[in-house]
Amino acid sequence: MNRQFSRADHLVCQFDAVLRTLVPRAAKAARPSPAGPEVRDEALSDDERRHAEGLMRINHTGEVCAQALYQGQGLTAKLPEVREQMEEAAQEEIDHLAWCEDRITELGGRTSRLNPLFYAASFGLGALAGAVGDRVSLGFVAATEEQVGRHLDAHLDRLPPGDHRSRSVLRQMAVDEAQHAEQALAAGGARFPGPVKAGMTLASRVMTKSVYKL
């Protein structure tokens, strides 16, 4: 017999998700990191290490935003199957969150101080999209994941040549993000028009430029 969760139960789950997303080292990956012991970096200069750290900090904040987006959408989604899909995708994104944080730590850095701000903004956008309708909500997921995929491809080109561990993480993340976008469209997500995507791109640039050092 499946347990029926009350509103209070859902709120507790939401609060737990917030803590796992924003508290350092709280996110635990279900899958092993693609940057396993067999993947070794070449020697990195201090400038290369700082550059890789900045790029991975951007990717970590992107995963914070993804978590908030899915959690907000799951809270307001109309259909149970859509809500379940959001929760499943959010769980898979936890792997990315943990992998990025581990890599930032290896590089001697820290996650962004702006994460709570971007989490709050993304949660609000996700909740709004879910409230408008499941087709719009799923379309927002697809458009976001497509945008993340483009960021990952760009970062793969910008990483220092000798940074094989960060590159392994980003390659697996790119595979997962493409799958999430396809699943959202297959579930009935709307394809967003160009101007909407352009606005999302502009907002993402604000995040990437601010988080690279902060």
CB-based contact 24:31 (threshold 8 Å): no
Of residues 67, 87, 206, 210, the one with CA closest to residue 144: 67
- The Cα–Cα gap between 70 and 73 comes to 5
Task: For residue 79, give both structure tokens.
Answer: 């259909």
- In one-letter notation, the amino acid at residue 75 is L
Task: For residue 30, give both structure tokens.
Answer: 């279900």
- Residues making up the binding site: 63, 93, 96, 145, 177, 180
- Residues making up the binding site for Fe cation: 63, 93, 96, 145, 177, 180
- The Cα–Cα gap between 93 and 158 comes to 23
pTM above 0.85, yes or no: no
Summarize pLDDT for 151-210 with one digit per residue, the tens: 898 999 999 999 999 999 999 999 888 887 777 777 677 676 555 556 666 666 777 778
The alpha carbons of the chain give a radius of gyration, in whole angstroms, of 17
| Percentage of the chain lying above the pLDDT 90 cut | 28
Q: Which residues contact 175 (CB under 8 A, 6 or more apart)?
A: none
Structural domains of the chain ordered from first start: 44-211 (1.20.1260.10)
